[in-house]
Amino acid sequence: MSLQLGDTAPDFTLDSTAGTVRFHDYAGDHWVVFFSHPKDFTPVCTTELGAFASRKAEFDARNTKLIGLSVDSVADHHGWAKDVAEVGGAEINYPLLADPELEVARLYGMFHPKADPKVTVRSVFVIDPQKKVRLILTYPPSAGRNVDEVLRVLDSLQLTDGRKLTTPVDWQPGDDVIIAPSVSDEDARKLYPEGWRTLKPYLRLVPAPAA
């Protein structure tokens, strides 16, 4: 069965471009963005690996580690890394796991034989410091991922974590946020004594708290 939101991300040990990785040890007390690729030397994935590498500092600033996966060997990964650096302008600066037996691809539900019986699908998992799966995105081979969107959702998850808040459509850091419907007006007045903006009785907006 594929992972669901709220599940504990399974631990595993695989070889990678950065040596042997035991996933839970690698994650530590960080957030993790874990993304998979069908195979090495594929055009869309080449652009994605370079984009994540060039923006790694933005994930570092959010206490977030990056880790990728492809079904090919570590030797192939190192060869592919040269193309990634040439195309994307940045060396791969996070582990790229080798999963030739599809062990982790199956464990995480990255393998969809009805879509393509030969390759893993292109998935993104955001995992919190408690090792809980907080976001799952699955892309077809034809559509490149959007790093800005991964960062935006990560910002939303981190801002609302432990708070009774949600973020509206197209939310960006600094925009107003929504008081969760589970919070009564009475309790909201205690939390937000300066009040809020009501669009509907169930849609109450307040300025985003400081991170």
Q: How many domains does the chain have?
A: 2
The range of the structural domain enclosing residue 169 comes to: 162-206
Q: How far apart are CA 189 and CA 204, in angstroms?
A: 12
Tell me which residues are annotated as active site: 45
Largest CA distance in the chain: 61
Residue 202 lies in a domain: yes
Q: Which of 145, 104, 107, 142 is nearest to 124 (CA)?
A: 145
Which pLDDT tens digit goes with each residue over 41-81?
888 889 999 999 999 999 999 999 999 999 889 999 999 99
pLDDT of amino acid 119: 56
Note whether 106 and 170 are same-domain residues: no
Residue 155 lies in a domain: no
CATH number at residue 104: 3.40.30.10
Which pLDDT tens digit goes with each residue over 124-170?
999 999 999 999 999 887 888 999 999 999 999 999 999 999 999 99
Note whether 137 and 170 are same-domain residues: no
Beta-carbon contacts of residue 168 (< 8 Å; ≥ 6 apart): 175, 176, 177, 178, 205
Note whether 74 and 35 are same-domain residues: yes
Domain stops at, among 112, 145, 178: 145
Q: How far apart are CA 79 and CA 77, in angstroms?
A: 5
Residue 128 lies in a domain: yes
pLDDT of amino acid 15: 97
Q: Which residue has the higher pLDDT, 47 or 117?
A: 47
Pinpoint the alpha helices (H) of the chain: 23-27, 43-54, 56-60, 74-88, 103-107, 147-160, 185-191
Residue 66 lies in a domain: yes
Note whether 26 and 51 are same-domain residues: yes
Note whether 18 and 121 are same-domain residues: yes
- Beta pairing, strands 122-127 & 133-139: antiparallel
Q: How far apart are CA 118 and CA 104, in angstroms?
A: 15
Residue 152 lies in a domain: no
Residue 29 lies in a domain: yes
